[in-house]
Amino acid sequence: MLKVGITGQAGFVGKHLYNTIGLFTDEFERIHFRKEYFENEEALNAFVSQCDVIVHLAAMNRHNDPQVIYDTNVNLVQKLINSLKITNSKAHVLFSSSTQEERDNLYGKSKRTGRELMIDWSNNSGGQFTGMIIPNVFGPFGHPNYNSVIATFCHKLSHNETPTIDVDGDLKLIYVGELVDCILTEIRSKKGKSEILIPHTSESKVSQILRLLEIYKTEYQDKGIIPNINNTFELNLFNTFRCYMDIKNHFPVKFIEHTDPRGSFVEIIRLGVGGQVSFSTTVPGITRGNHYHTRKIERFAVIKGKALIQLRRIGTDEVLDFILDGNEPAYVDMPIWYTHNIKNIGEEVLYTNFWINEFYDPNDPDTYFENV
């Protein structure tokens, strides 16, 4: 079993990598990292000495003074190398660099300098090193005005603000889940490579991305419609947008109920995509679920009975509680990377309608069990 540590574990890519590695408990053991270790030589040495693999993601991306970015990033690499030397580590170190290496800015230069320092350590220590040149990364839970323009657009649109385009350039992009898969492939290879270009998986103008996100805001957030999703990039972009919404205050969303002497009629969902629709009955006191998805879009609609739906983002402690009652039919959608469940808290049988955007495949269920 490989012991893997991630500097920058609490950052955007670091959290996704840490959580994904946690799905492979028979293959990897996660060695916990805190950013304070870089200020405590003893703690950093203890961390490094435990690791078979170190993924170095810790870095500063933005600051008013570019020289601070350069100095900070190079200093972090030097501290890591010093610890590797003190502990006589033979770890496989994977280094996150950027396609900005070749640009005339101090962030790109800091990445290139850091990678060269790591190559020198590897050549003189017997340790393995992989330098990954990474394109623009986007995905859920990135910090607006810091990690990517997509994070900024998603945050502003979902909070009813108006994004602006500074430069309508062409972006070469990789979804954070795809990047994590690439990193895991390199870890599993157990082979160092001084330079590896991580290929982008999509390319788009900034204005085209904003146009899609505006559709998601209007169709999904405002109207509850699952929009047209034509390819993997659009699915990843839509799932990214959903994670910036104010979930706590957005759900549950009440349906429009049409009644007449015959009874009532409720439209459950409007779809621009396919998928699978099902329903369940749940006897009082029983809880279903306690699992999460990393790519699927899912809607729970209570049509009869009383239910408690709970959500908790993986890696956090806050539990969101939603009470739904069939007397006022409503739905809650499940964001990716949120474990969720549904419990019958009433005295009668609970009837729930479920929709999910892809057929269930037992060989690739994208369903991971964890109690809320």
Residues 208-246, buried b or exposed e (16+ Cβ, 10 A)? ebbebbebbbebbbeebbbbebeeebbbbbbbbbbbbbe
Q: What are phi and psi of 160, to 5 degrees?
A: 60, 35
Q: Is pLDDT of 102 > 80?
A: no
Nearest CA among 285, 307, 298, 291 for reference residue 351: 307
Q: Is pLDDT of 150 > 80?
A: yes
Q: What is the pLDDT of residue 63?
A: 86
Confidence of residue 342 (pLDDT cuts 50, 70, 90): very high
Confidence of residue 61 (pLDDT cuts 50, 70, 90): confident
CA 104 to each of CA 100, 135, 197, 203, 238: distance values in angstroms, whole numbers, following the listed order: 8, 16, 19, 22, 33
* Euclidean distance between CA atoms 341 and 310, whole angstroms: 5
Confidence of residue 64 (pLDDT cuts 50, 70, 90): confident
Mean per-residue pLDDT for 218-243? 97
The per-residue pLDDT of the chain, averaged, comes to: 96
Cα–chain center distance at 364: 19
Cα radius of gyration rounded to whole Å, the chain: 23
Mean per-residue pLDDT for 106-117? 93
Mean per-residue pLDDT for 130-156? 96
Q: What is the pLDDT of residue 255?
A: 95
Contact between residue 128 and residue 56 where contact means Cβ atoms under 8 Å apart: no
Summarize pLDDT for 11-20 with one digit per residue, the tens: 999 999 999 9
Q: What is the pLDDT of residue 126?
A: 85
* Euclidean distance between CA atoms 162 and 156, whole angstroms: 6
Mean per-residue pLDDT for 42-71? 95
Distance in angstroms between the alpha carbons of the first and the last residue of the chain? 28
Contact between residue 303 and residue 346 where contact means Cβ atoms under 8 Å apart: no
Summarize pLDDT for 159-213 with one digit per residue, the tens: 999 999 999 999 999 999 999 999 999 999 999 999 999 999 999 999 999 999 9
Q: What is the pLDDT of residue 54?
A: 98
Q: What is the dihedral of CA 299, 304, 306, 309, to 10 degrees?
A: -10
Nearest CA among 347, 332, 338 for reference residue 371: 338
Confidence of residue 99 (pLDDT cuts 50, 70, 90): confident
Angle subtended by helix axes 232-242 and 206-216, to nearest 10: 60
Q: CB-based contacts of 263: which residues, under 8 Å, 6+ apart?
A: none
Summarize pLDDT for 294-332 with one digit per residue, the tens: 999 999 999 999 999 999 999 999 999 999 999 999 999
CA 199 to each of CA 177, 178, 217, 362: distance values in angstroms, whole numbers, following the listed order: 13, 10, 29, 30
Q: What is the pLDDT of residue 62?
A: 82
Structural domains of the chain, with CATH: 2-134 (3.40.50.720), 247-369 (2.60.120.10)
Instruction: For the chain, give the percent of residues with pLDDT over 90.
Output: 92
Q: What is the pLDDT of residue 188?
A: 97
Cα–chain center distance at 106: 28
